[in-house]
Each structure stands twice: as C-alpha cells, then as structure tokens.
C-alpha cells in the first residue's frame, strides 16, 4: 500500500519570501505544505532562534555569529531586506514564536544546526517542544548523529531523522 508523501517547505516557502522568516512560513501554509522545515541556533543568552547560517551576515548584514549576539540585539535586525524591499524589517523569529503561530496549521521539521559553541541547544529545543505540547507535531533533524541521540535521551517519544544531504527537502516520507 502506497502512502501519499508529505510535502515539506524548505526554510518555509523560501522561493517566495525570505528564508526562515514568518513570511516564508505563512507562504508555506498558503502553499499547503504539510511540514515547514526550519533551522535553529542558540543566541548568547540561550534563546533558540530560527536561521540557517550560524553567521548573521548573509541574511541580516551583521558580521557576527549567532552565539555571540543576544536575542535583544538579534530581534532588532532586518532578516528580510536582503530578499526584497517588500520584506524590509522582517524579524528573526524564535522557535517558540514559530510553534505558536505556524504550529497549529502545519507540522514542523526542526533542524538543529549543532556546533561546539551552541552545545546546549538540544536541551533548549526539546524543552520548547515539550512546553508547547508539540512532540507529536514535529520531527527533529540534524546532520549530527550525536544531537539526535541526545534528543532521544531527553525524550524517547520524539521523532528524529538524520539529515544527510544538503539539498532542498521537498518530499519527506513519514
């Protein structure tokens, strides 16, 4: 028996809006995605923010790594102007904001972008998922097997997948 594939919007609808922003995630909902894939990092004051790169340079213009900057500074940055004038002033969202605003309408594929500077990120991500009663509405992915092992140790009920290829994930079989 064949299953119908679930459609996953990579970094939201990143062709039509700036990647990993609420605008991209809302566009993914409009496009009827089953999953919204997003990437997370940890700020200097331990807030889980949504951004693909560890550096803020490409999408916000600030030449610093996320783990070097506080959330209060990051929330002032423009994460949309690089994409189009239409999106100027688009903020960098937190994982919690995305779960609350997008989570009721689509499942999330949360990719943990691990590095040694953000060593506690897994605990923070699992905590946010649990506090928001979102375990059954997400999958946690990472290219680092150690991160997935840590997720399973913290919460065995969480669904984890190893992200092995750095390409657009347009279809995910669940």
- Catalytic residue set: 10, 52
Cα radius of gyration (the chain): 15
């Amino acid at each position: 028996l064949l299953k119908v594939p679930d459609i996953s919007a990579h970094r939201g609808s990143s062709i039509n809006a700036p990647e990993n922003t609420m605008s991209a995630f809302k566009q993914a909902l409009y496009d009827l995605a089953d999953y919204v894939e997003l990437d997370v990092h940890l700020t200097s004051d331990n807030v889980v923010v949504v951004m693909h790169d560890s550096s803020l340079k490409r999408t916000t213009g600030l030449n610093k790594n996320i783990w070097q900057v506080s959330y209060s500074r990051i929330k002032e940055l423009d994460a949309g102007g690089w994409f189009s004038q239409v999106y100027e002033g688009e903020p960098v969202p937190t994982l919690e904001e995305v779960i609350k605003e997008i989570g009721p309408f689509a499942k999330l594929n949360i990719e943990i972008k691990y590095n040694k500077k953000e060593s506690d990120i897994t605990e923070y991500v699992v905590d946010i998922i649990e506090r928001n009663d979102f375990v059954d509405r997400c999958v946690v992915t990472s290219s680092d097997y150690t991160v997935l092992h840590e997720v399973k140790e913290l919460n065995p009920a969480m669904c984890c997948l190893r992200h092995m290829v750095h390409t657009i994930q347009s279809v995910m079989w669940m």
